[in-house]
Amino acid sequence: MPAPPMWLRWLPVAYVAAVLVIEPLTPVDWPVSFVVTALPLVAAYAYGPVAVAAFTVFAVLFEGVLAGTPCCAGRSVTYMWDRHYVANYICTGLVGVLGAILAVHRMRRERTLATVRSVAETAQRVLLRPVPRHLGQVSVETLYLSAAAEARIGGDLYEAVPTAYGVRLLIGDVRGKGLVAVETAATILGAFREAAHDERDLTGVARRVERSMSRHAAQLPGGEWAERFVTAVFAEIPEHEQVVRIVNCGHPPPLILHEGGVRELHATDPSPPVNLGVLIGDGYHMDVEPFHPRDQLLLYTDGVTETRDADGVFYPLAERVAPWASLPPRALLDHLHADLHAYSGGHLDDDIAALAAYRLPGEPRS
C-alpha cells in the first residue's frame, strides 16, 4: 500500500503552526484555539487510527494550554476549565473518534485499490505480453498508456509475431472502455497469434481474425455484437524483401520514418473495422510500401493523434516525430511519451498504444 504524499503527512503540523500564528493576533473574545478540534480529521487523511488518537490527545492538551496561557490571550489558568472549554474538549474527543473511523475506512479502501491495481497489472501483462526486442532483421519496441489510471488497463492492443512469412504486427483500438474492451482485446489478440502463423497472406490473417471476432460477438446478448468492433492495422515485414505490407481496417495511418523525413501510409482502399465486415463487406485490401534498412514503421492508436493542448488543438504526430526520425525505437517512443505529456499538460484522456519496428541494416539471414 503506497504511503501518503509527504505534504499530506505534514499537513497536521502546518495546521497547528497556523493556529499558533493566528492565536496571539486575535482579540481575547475570539478563542481561535477552538479550531484545533478539527486536527484529528486533518490527521486522518494521512495517518492510521493510532496516530489519529495521539493527535486527538495532543489537540485536547493544546486547547487547554492555549486557554490558560496569559501571554497568548490574557486569560487565567483556571479559565481553561470554563464550561465552554470543557465542552470543546469533549467535542474534540468525539471528532477524534470519527477521525479514527475515517482512517480505518481510508486504509481499507487503499488496500482494496492496491489489490485491484495488482490484479489489473497482472491481467495487462497477460493480455499485452512483452514483445521481443529483436525479431530477425526487425527491432521492435512498444508504448502503452492507459487512461484508466487507477486500474492501469484499457482497450488498446498490440502484438508482434515472428512467422515463416516475416514479422507480423498488429495494433488495434477496441470500441468502448473497461472490462468489455479488455475481453474484446483478448479475443482479437488470441485470434491474431494463431492466424499469423497459419495464413499465408496478410489479408487472410485479417479475415481469420474477423471470423473469430464475429463468432465471439454472436454469443453476446441483444445488439451488443454490432457494438463490439476494433479498428486495427495488420502489418507484415518480410525478411527477404525490402517492403512492408499493410492492411488498414479503419485505423489511423501508420508512419514510415527515415532519414529523409516522415511519410504517412494512407490506405488506397480502406478495409472495414474488425467485426463490421459482415455489415459493410468483408473485402480486405493490402498495400505494399518500400521499407528499407534503417527505416522505421510507427503504428499507433488514435489516443496519440487525439491528444489536445490547452487550446484544444490535436497533436500533430507527423510534424512532432520528424526530428526524431533517426532515433532507435526505444528512444523514439520515450520522446513520444514525454512529448505527449508536455503537449497535453499531463492530461491524457484516452488510452495510448504505439509500436515502433526498425529494419536493421545488413543482409537478412538465409
User: Domain map of the chain by residue range?
Assistant: 6-120, 131-359
Tell me 359's DSSP state.
E
- pLDDT per residue over 79-112, tens digit each? 555 555 677 788 889 999 999 999 999 999 888 8
Question: What is the phi/psi pair of residue 337, to 5°?
Answer: -60, -50
Residue 323 has pLDDT above 60, yes or no: yes
d(CA 136, CA 138): 5
Task: Give residue 275's region: left, alpha or beta (phi > 0; psi -120 to 50).
Answer: left
pLDDT score, position 117: 67
Tell me 136's DSSP state.
T
Which residues, 6 or more positions from 262, have their beta carbon under 8 angstroms from its beta carbon?
A: 255, 256, 318, 321, 322, 325
Which residues, 6 or more positions from 305, have their beta carbon under 8 angstroms from its beta carbon?
A: 252, 314, 315, 317
Q: Facing residues of 359 across strands?
A: 138
Tell me 266's DSSP state.
-
The upper half-sphere exposure of residue 274, i.e. CA atoms within 13 Å in the direction of its Cβ, equals 36
Residue 246 has pLDDT above 80, yes or no: yes
pLDDT score, position 301: 93
Band of the pLDDT at 203, cuts 50, 70, 90? very high
H or E element at residue 206 = helix 202-218
In this prediction, residues 122-127 reach a mean pLDDT of 65
Residue 265: strand, helix, or coil: coil
In this prediction, residues 214-221 reach a mean pLDDT of 73
Residue 15 has pLDDT above 70, yes or no: yes
Mean pLDDT of the chain: 83
pLDDT score, position 60: 85
pLDDT score, position 3: 73
Domain 131-359, what fold? Phosphatase 2c; domain 1 (3.60.40)
Residue 71 has pLDDT above 50, yes or no: no
Q: Which amino acid is residue 248, in one-letter code? A: N
In this prediction, residues 244-262 reach a mean pLDDT of 93
pTM above 0.85, yes or no: no
Specify the residue for cell string 488518537: 53
